[in-house]
Amino acid sequence: MIEKNKRSVVIPGETIVEGDNYLPGEGTEKQDKKIVALRYGLAEETNKLVKVIPLSGVYQPRRGNIIIGKVSLLTFNGWVIDIGTAENGFLPLMETPRFVSKDRLDEFMKIGDIVVAQIFGINGRGIDLTLKSRGLGKIDEGIVFKINSNKVPRVIGKEGSMIKIIKENTNCNITVGQNGFIWIKGDRIEDELFAKKAILFIVEKSFLEGLTEKVEEWFKKNELVEEETKSAVKIQKKNVKEEKDDN
């Protein structure tokens, strides 16, 4: 049983609340008068709607989602893209930002390329993708890694607040795919790894309250170390340059 407006961990089959006027939300089922959890996660009740926020599990694709995937196949009219779901994504020729001739598919993107795309339709045949929006396209360099897709909302934060903090503190461009893949691109590799570290920290502490403050604290603590490394590298570079000049 959970307290009102509080969160508590539940396991499958566990009764979350009992009572006539509760409604079963996502991850739950009504059995007689009980709302029972169908997932392992955090149970939450607001205005009599009871749902379970999953802490793990597969990504459920939704229209409008930005995702990051890998080109797995070229067909006569587009690219098949593996986005980590049972059905592959498909990017039709018509959905590229500029004209691509159907004889030149592999010049635009070849098998193994990683791409940021948006889901514009989900139907029986699969997941339709588009690149016709800002920020979408093939990934050229940086680091790409995966987190649990359930933690993506925390990494992004309310209206992007969390991701903004990370970008500001690390000087990196960060794209978070709803399917859990994250692309970080910065001027220096150290910055990229710093941003990755920050994101993994958020993933670890994702269910804590007041996460924003904790993250800001984390940055203050870790920034000092990064600054020292930066100056150490600067001195090193200076020494190397002096050596070179001497020679």
Q: Are 69 and 179 in contact (CB under 8 A)?
A: yes
Select 101 or 125, whichever has its Cβ closest to other proteins: 125
- Tell the smallest beta-carbon distance from residue 195 to other proteins (Å): 12
Select 22 or 59, whichever has its Cβ closest to other proteins: 59
- Tell the smallest beta-carbon distance from residue 28 to other proteins (Å): 10
Does residue number 154 form part of the binding site for other proteins (CB under 8 A)?
no
Determine which residue in the list 16, 22, 24, 54 makes contact with other proteins, applying CB under 8 A.
54
Determine which residue in the list 13, 97, 121, 135 makes contact with other proteins, applying CB under 8 A.
13
Does residue number 211 form part of the binding site for other proteins (CB under 8 A)?
no
Determine which residue in the list 16, 22, 35, 41 makes contact with other proteins, applying CB under 8 A.
41
Does residue number 58 form part of the binding site for other proteins (CB under 8 A)?
yes
Determine which residue in the list 65, 85, 118, 170 makes contact with other proteins, applying CB under 8 A.
85
Binding region for other proteins (CB under 8 A): 9, 11-14, 27, 29, 38-42, 54-59, 69-70, 82, 84-87, 112-114, 139-146, 150, 181, 183, 189, 192-193, 204-205, 207-208
